[in-house]
Structures are given as C-alpha cells and as structure tokens.
Amino acid sequence: MNLVKYLEQHAARHPDRIGLYFEDRTWTYAQVDATMSRIASGLRGLGLQKGDRVAVMLPNWPEFHFCTHAAWKLGAVEVPINTMYREEETSFILGNAEASVVFAFPEAARMIQGVRTELPSLKAVVAVGGDAPAGTMPFDELLAQGDPVCLAPEMDPDDLAAIAYTSGTTGFPKGAMLSHYNLIISIQRMRDYLGLSERDNVMQALPCFHSNASLIGMILAWFLGSSAILVERIESRKFLETVSRTRPAMFASVPTILYDILHLPGEDVESAFSSVRYVVFGAAPTGPELRRRIEERFGLKVLQSYGMTEAPNSVTFDPLVGRPNLDSVGLPMEHLTIKIVDEDDNALPIGEVGEICIGPRTDGPHAGLFKPMQGYWKSLEASISALKGGFYHTGDMGKLDEDGFLYVVDRKKDMIIRGGNNIFSAELERVLRTDERVEEVYVVGVPHERLGQVPKAYVVLKPGADAREEELKELIAARLARYKRLEHVEFVTRESLPRNALGKVLKRELTARELAAYRVGH
C-alpha cells in the first residue's frame, strides 16, 4: 500500500493523458511520474531512505506535489509547512520532525539556511524557483542528478505518509501522524460518495500545504487518473478563465472565493462553470443566501463538509439528494461514526451538546474501516488524550439530531463563559445572520471585570446596508436567553478581519486584540 502507486499505474496505462494543468502549461502523466522519479532518486543520492522526513514549504506550484509524491516513492514521510510561517515556527517544525531535507521557495530557503546550525538532522535545503541562496542546493541540480525511473516500494498500511502540523490555541503546532492507509481510505470514500471517475478533472485552488485541501484536490485527481488543475493564487477573472479552459468537475473552496466571482458581470461567468458539479466548502461556514445564489447562478451543488487533519479530511457531508439541512454540517460519512460525549467521556443522548468524537463503525460493510490519525508526533500525552477509547476527540462542541445530522455548536476554545454560564458564539452568529443586512458576523468573548467574559460581535454589512448596534442587540435579546445578550457590536469591513490562508477568520486574533485593549485600560 503506497499512495503514489496509483499515479504510477495511471502513468503506465495512459502515459499521454494530461496529468496536470498549471497556468499555461500542461504535463502528461508520463512527465509527471518522470519528474517525481528524478526528485526521488536525487533524494536517495543525498542518503535519504524509508521513514525519513521530507519537508515541503512551497506555494501552489507543481513542485509542491512533485516533491511530496517523490518522498512517497522513497517510502519517506512528507511534512508540509505553511508558507506564511516565520523563522520560529518553521525551525520548530523542522526540528521537531527531524526533517532530513526541506524544499523551500528562495526567501524561505534563505531563512532556513540562517538557522541551519540549530537543525542537526537537516542534510540539505533545496531552493525551488529563482536563484538559490548561498549554501542551499538549487532544485535543478537535484533534478539533474536523478533518474526518470524510480518505482515506489510497497508500504505497510500503518507506515507514515505525512506528519501534518496543526495549529494549536497555545504553544507550537502538533504534528498529526497520518498513514498511507489513512490517506487512501479518505480518498476512496470521497470518490465513492461523490461518484467520481477518471473522467472528472479536479481543481485545487486552496493552499497545497493544507493537507485536507490537497487530499480533495491534486491527490484526489491523481488517485482517480484524471487531470489535476492547480491554481497558484485566486484572481477572479483569471480563476474564471482557468475553470472555463480546464473543465473541472469539482473543487474545494471557501465562501470568499465564490463571493467575489458572484459579483463579476457577464454571461461568461455562468458558462465557465458549466462543467462543475460540486463545490465543497469546509473551512468556513456558508450562509444560506450565499449558497442559494451560487447554486442558482452556476447550476452546481454546494456541499458543506466538516473535517479536520486528524480524521483525516471530511467527516460529514451534505446529502447529495434532497434539500440540505442548512443549520447542520451534514451527515457522517458512511465508514465512520460520531458520538457526543460529556466531560467524563460518557455518551450523551440525541440533542444534547457535548464534545464531538469520531471513530470506526462496528457494524455493516464498513465496520472497522475508519482509523483516525496514529497520534501526535513526539507528543504521547496529547495523543492519549485525543484518542481515548479509539475515538478522535475533536475539541469541538456539537450535537446530533434524530436524523443523524451533526450540528457544530462551537469550538471548546471559542466558548464564552459569562458569570459561570456557557455561551456558544456560533448560536449568536446564527441568529445575527438571519438579519438580511448582515453579510458576515463573528462573535468572540471579551474580558469583563465582574463577569469574566461577555460577547462581542464583529459585523460586516452587505454593500449599501445600514444598521445600528442597538438593533442587533435587540435581535439577540428577542431570540435567546438573557445571559446570552450581546454587549458590544463593532461594524467592520471584510478586508479588516484577520484570515488564514484558507480565508477563514481567525477568531483567536480578534480575541487577542480585545484582551490587549482591556489590559491597556486596566
């Protein structure tokens, strides 16, 4: 079992089929496989072998996935790194993973080279794109040393394929250990659920360093044997042209991408999306109105998904048939089960809010198929806590209804505790979104001298709309319990909100701003 073997098989059977679109270039499957083989054999020449860690810190360039799959051709382990990380975060991951090689864009390569003496396991910093900084190895030099034929070894199902570092609320990221089995099962279930085949091109516009984005993007396409489409950055008109030219059947997105495209004029906007059957949203909530406008204008189906790196990938999906339950994040994938537990890990009945936990089914044809991550790299205590009883404990608060739909009520870390009462910010956000003037809203807890915390809403209004703070406070007061009342409202622009690479608003940064302001005043 080795994920890259699927690509090798497609290259052998259909060498001239287009395997990759990027900008105005194309690669056949034969060319994709040969490039990966050259990288893999070049790495072997540096002394790398099965189990060694290969870090990849690159933008959405083809080389990202060439290098990732090259690592798998050696039986090595991929370690993706966020391209926005600075020196401290990057050096921590490289040191913690004990990476042997890192592929990095020139600025990052220069940064890493500057701390290389602190990374004893690092044998080479390979600079990709542009001039290689002093002391680093040019990517073309590694390619030139490689052989165009390098067949991947068979791996045990539990052999590691990736260590994906996930952001924590405090301290440094933790590395989720994902096996080849984890990744292959995730992709297989995605393929079967959506009914995808080698005729369905798949586009990736979200960052390659985000493991789930790649699993539902490039890696999925090469698993299917279809054409992968990689987008370096989102520019609405250029994105539209790429969709029209390459004809993807699906892609994962965040609401902000489709929001911008919705506001483009012209009939060519609709025709460009004629091949697209599915757009999957998972990184940020999709308002019912935005979903309706996307589906009506483009004639496709929007699917809300809930997932995480540790699962890995999608845990729930909207049903493909019938109207979605817009308040939920969908139904559990058929190969896994979800339970809701209290603080003592006891299962809670239908409708009660507790921590969302994900585990294998114990009955039916998919019994025992699902496995969560193996644990967190070099973090035994965190691994034991997260995987109690064979279930992955997500840290999210939610509930199930009688029909099996999952509702994510809040993140544990986002819970507001007001005078001993728990307030779920997602509940306030849901009510505020019912006001037709509200485009986006994010509720966080802000410090209060007597009560500990009180809710504050950051609100983005629709273009041309006008609203007063008191009106939104009254809306909450009329719909929810008194202790959930909204204390503060700040009207902001979309551009002023802090977001990650996937376009998801970073509530922790909003909370940090409020805490800093509170400390100044006290």
**H-helix or E-strand containing 489?**
strand 488-491
- The stretch 227-250 carries a mean pLDDT of 94
Give the SS3 label for residue 260: helix
Q: Where are the alpha helices (DSSP H) in 103-210?
A: 106-114, 139-144, 180-194
Residue 317 neighbours by CB distance under 10 Å? 25
What one-character DSSP code corresponds to residue 505? B
- The stretch 309-318 carries a mean pLDDT of 94
| Token pair for 49 | 């072998």
Handedness of CA 110, 20, 503, 99 (dihedral sign): negative
Mode of pairing for the β-strands spanning 160-166 and 202-204:
unpaired
pLDDT band at 283 (very low <50, low <70, confident <90, very high): low
Distance of CA 485 to the CA centre of its chain: 33
Task: Say what the pLDDT of residue 13 is.
Answer: 98
Tokens 């926005």: give the residue.
Answer: 84
- Of the candidate CATH numbers 2.30.40.10, 2.30.38.10, 3.30.465.10, 2.40.30.10, the domain formed by 334-413 belongs to 2.30.38.10
What pTM was estimated for this model as a whole?
0.86
Task: Please report, for the chain, the start and end positions of each structural domain, with discontinuous segments joined by +.
Answer: 4-8+28-179, 334-413, 415-521
Give the phi and the psi of residue 157 in degrees, each rounded to 5. Answer: -55, -35
Cα–Cα nearest to 332, from 406, 225, 390, 438: 406
- Can you tell me the distance from the alpha carbon of 203 to that of 211, in angstroms, rounded to the nearest whole number? 15
Handedness of CA 162, 167, 172, 176 (dihedral sign): negative
Give the SS3 label for residue 366: coil
Give the SS3 label for residue 242: helix
Which residues make beta-bridge pairs with 154? none
| Residues 241-271 pLDDT 10s | 999 999 999 999 877 788 788 888 877 888 9
Task: Say what the pLDDT of residue 266 is.
Answer: 77
Task: Give the least confident one: 117-121, 163-167, 205-209, 432-436.
Answer: 163-167
- Separation of first and last alpha carbons in the chain: 59
User: Domain 415-521 carries which CATH code?
Assistant: 3.30.300.30
Tokens 């586009």: give the residue.
Answer: 203
What is the secondary structure of 329-356 as a DSSP string? --EEPTTEEEEEE-TTSPBPPTT--EEE
CA dist list (Å): 422 to 350, 395, 506: 20, 15, 21
| Residues 350-361 pLDDT 10s | 999 999 999 999
What is the secondary structure of 191-231 as a DSSP string? HHHHT--TT--EEE-S-TTSHHHHHTTHHHHHHHTS-EEE-
| Residues 193-205 pLDDT 10s | 999 999 999 999 9
| Token pair for 198 | 């080698």
4-8+28-179: CATH topology is: Rossmann fold (3.40.50)
